[in-house]
Amino acid sequence: MWPFLVACASPPEPDVAAVVTTVAASPPPPWTLQGRASSDGLDTPTLPGGAALLGAACATLNATLHGSGPPCFVEDWRADGARLRVERAGARLRFDRVPGRTTWTPIGGILASCLGDPLAAPPADDPGGRRTLEKRTWVITLSGQNRCALTGTLRLDATRDHAEWSGISSEGLPWSSGGREAAQTLLRAELRALVESKWGELDTVQREEALQALAADPHPDARRVLELRR
């Protein structure tokens, strides 16, 4: 081919399939929490109105969402120019005007006892824990500074009853390979200490539940504590 023909030739067509694949594989921009006001007092000053606004907003949210009272929060998330408002009143939550979840049935038993409220800030009362947002999934990251020594990541679908906890460990053990049992051991030790030190502060139902749990606890101290309280 003559040189001038090469120079005048049309540029090659872009590989459309490759472009589409690249775009599809690109991760969505991360959501960043811009502001938060909550009934637990953990407010972010960048949210206009803060806790003062929330005092009235909680009553409105409970009425609007048919919630059951606190916990109550409003969060403002941003990503690449987009804005997302998350509003919660008790057991009800609105995720950018779409009904969201505050509980997940896959999270039950020991894991539920370890976590408490999955959407609390910080999660599991872990000072090193974080709750972030990826698309429509809550990502709960734990540092181990919590009642069950949980570390790792828990993923909760914000609008569907789906949870993924394979990334969670307790006492350094994966949840499915000893972690669950390690967490149960920590919870049982906590209960034994609670019954010994704060028995007088428990109501009738709490005492009955504590005694039933102690009866199922194989630790030698459980029998001793049980005999003292019966």
C-beta of residue 104 within 8 angstroms of C-beta of residue 118: yes
> 3-class SS at 176?
helix
For residue 87, the model assigns a pLDDT of 87
Eight-class DSSP state of 201: G
Q: How far apart are the first and last CA of the chain?
A: 100
Nearest to 111 by CA among 215, 214, 181, 216: 181
What does pTM read for this prediction? 0.76
For residue 95, the model assigns a pLDDT of 86
**Average pLDDT for 150-167:** 94
Handedness of CA 44, 47, 51, 54 (dihedral sign): negative
**Average pLDDT for 56-84:** 76
Over residues 105-149, the pLDDT tens digits come to: 999 899 999 999 999 888 999 999 999 999 889 999 999 999 999
Give the per-residue SS3 of 61-89. Answer: HHHHHCCCCCCEEEEEEEECCEEEEEEEE
Given a cut of 90, whether residue 154 has pLDDT beyond it is yes
